[in-house]
Chains A and B, each alone.
Chain A
Amino acid sequence: MDSISLPVIHCVKSFLTLLFGLLSANILLAQQLQQDSVSYADTTKVREEKADPILENPIPWSIFIEASAEYAPQPDEHNFHQQLAIGASYRMINIGAFVNLQKKTITKTLIFPNQFDLIYLHGGGYLGLTLINGQQADLVLRYNFSKGGMVWENAETKADLVRDDYYMSKPELVFQYRLLNFISFFASGGYKLGHGIEMPGINKNDFNGFTISVGGRLGFFHLNP
């Protein structure tokens, strides 16, 4: 029984393997043929795929220098700060670096009876995302982060009394209007937040608050058609 059955079993196994192999290949081939032979009825309306404007049109990009005045909080009141920047955009991404310079003198009696001037500046970079990209105008959401230095200077002797570092972050919305392909104007609104401010006579929240800025950009703007 055993001597006869073993070769039979091997033959059956080989046969079944061959059969399944052929069947599988056939099914795959049939699917391929079916895909290749898909046809539409004459009445079917084929929608034309809408072209990607970014792919179809030239890619929007720009590179520029920027000068602006920022109306922002400071220890005594809101006041104008000067800001200089260089920036670039590519498709929806905006990047840049800036220096925010406060030249206005804030005089305080820090050590009685002496008067001191507070001078500070900070600089850093920003990363933005274009939310609306129009032909001549666009709206960008951008996040600014910077490191700065602050110094109390004796108003009379000009000697430094104390200095320290701090950080500043500001999310803002920037509306830009391109006048020509080399000049644009912008206005923005944001919220400034100071970090690590530990200076005598300065409240750590003195620099926190809403800001508005207006400025101009000079460079090259690859306009949307």
Chain B
Amino acid sequence: MRRIFLISTFCCFLYGCSLGPEKPDDQDVWLYANPSSSQLSDSLLLALNNNLEAKLYGNINSLVVIRKDKLLFENYYDESFRNRTKNLGQASMAVLITALDLLIRDGYIENIQQNIVTFLPEYQSIFNAEPDKELITIEHLLTNKSGLSWVQSNAFPDNLNDLSIMKLQSDWTEYVLSRPLEADPGLRYVPNSGAGVVLARVMENALIDTDLLTYLKEELFGRIDIDEVVWETDPSGTLDGGSGLSLMTLDLTKFGYLLLNGGRWKKARVISNEWIFEITKTTLKLDNTINAGYGWWRFADGVLDLETNDLFFADGGLGQQLYIIPHLEMVVAIHAENYSQGFFNSSTFIFLSVLASLEPNEN
């Protein structure tokens, strides 16, 4: 009895001497390393960091750089910090579209050629009023070719901007579907964040036994060690698939790292490689510089000085960007709040500065 007491006392002492039993409050995905260990210039990145601290690129919240399975650069600016979630803007739709693979895998959705009307019985009256809307498929939502009239541009005043008007409604899906058809579905490209809301509603209705956010947390975010997920909804409870997702920058980087590894996370398959190829391949050439995929974007050949143009990225509209460059084994995540700068914004130039820090024979 005395022996047990002594051993217990000793064990308590050992326990008390440790700093705490909790697991590291940290990521366990990448090794930490200095940029130079992965052929990036320390001095150039330090100069970039100084510029970011001096706000030369506007309101940049964070910059994370991963290369060759190592976390090389992670810093936060303008009162941001690692554990703060930040909105992804329109990059939310890229995440939602990527997650569509899970519903197809699990049989909730057969394929993206299915008409959305089959998933939206509660809006049958809208389809009845304009029967051609029944031709809209899931793929049309992914490619911004639904044919629905939509004014997205920030150049329009709020009262003429469909995005702003939609957000005043109680049911955003109803508002988007109620827009008149101005072209046959599949014919014309019109940027439409409302399509993300409709896609979220389609996915929500396709799920039989759970709600969409719970499903995504279990099947996607939870499997890639993302615990903190904030996804805004409209008043009716539908996820704002167009712009409502908020993640920590490091978690956004994890998502990019998943795609970099062809959909595998720590050797487990999460997203199919075929789907990643499908959504990131060029489906539309917007202009001489940018090509569009399903929610993902590519630079046109020759825009960047890269040996292989396999780069794809998600863009949030305010400088939130996630770049994946498979041949460089590199992910760059940026959170920012810079308004009205278009595709080539401050974040793009930050990314170009990161690329410029690569040793000459590395790109």
Contact = CB atoms under 8 A, between A and B. Distances in A.
A and B bind: yes
The contact size tier of chain B is: 20 to 34
A163 B20 contact: yes
Contact of A163 (B25, B32, B45): B25
Contact of A148 (B18, B31, B45, B72): B18
Contacts of A124: 13-14, 17
A163 B19 contact: yes
Contacts of B82: 159
A151 B19 contact: yes
Given A113-B73, A161-B26, A146 B31 contact: no
A147 interface: yes
A25 B42 CA distance: 100
B81 A125 contact: no
Interface string B1-45: 000000000100111111111101110000110110000001001
A205 to B, nearest CB: 17
Contacts of B26: 161-163
A44 B74 CA distance: 91
Contacts of B352: none
A111 B250 CA distance: 12
A187 to B, nearest CB: 25
B17 A111 contact: no
A62 B20 CA distance: 33
Interface string B61-87: 000000000011111000001100000
B50 to A, nearest CB: 9
B81 A123 contact: no
Given A162-B26, A164-B24, A114 B75 contact: yes
A122 interface: yes
Interface in B66-124: 71-75, 81-82
Given A112-B72, A113-B45, A162-B24, A147 B32 contact: no
Contacts of B20: 149, 163
Contact of B74 (A111, A125, A162): A111
A36 to B, nearest CB: 45
Contacts of A99: 17
Contacts of B14: 123-124, 146-147
Contact of B46 (A97, A113, A120, A125): A113
A148 B14 CA distance: 8
B49 interface: yes
A148 B73 contact: no
Contacts, number: 75
B334 to A, nearest CB: 16
Interface SS of A by simple majority: strand
A201 B31 CA distance: 9
Contacts of A109: 34
Nearest to B18: A149
Contacts of B74: 111-112, 114
Specify which of A112, A113, A160 lies most central, judged by the most chain B CB atoms within 10 Å of its CB.
Answer: A112
Contacts of B34: 109, 112
B25 A111 contact: no
Contact of A150 (B19, B21, B49): B19
A58 interface: no
A20 to B, nearest CB: 52
Contacts of B42: 112
Contact of A159 (B13, B19, B73, B81): B81
A123 B32 contact: no
A111 B32 contact: yes
A138 interface: no
Given A112-B45, A112-B72, A123 B19 contact: no
B25 A162 contact: yes
B19 A110 contact: no
A206 interface: no
Nearest to A163: B24
B22 A163 contact: yes
A109 B35 CA distance: 11
A149 B17 CA distance: 8
B353 to A, nearest CB: 14
Interface of A: 97, 99, 109-114, 120-125, 146-151, 157, 159-165, 200-201
8 contacts: A99-B17, A112-B34, A123-B17, A125-B10, A147-B15, A150-B19, A159-B81, A161-B25
Given A113-B45, A124-B17, A149-B20, 15 more contacts: A111-B32, A111-B75, A112-B46, A112-B72, A114-B74, A121-B17, A123-B17, A125-B10, A125-B13, A147-B14, A149-B17, A149-B19, A160-B25, A163-B25, A163-B26
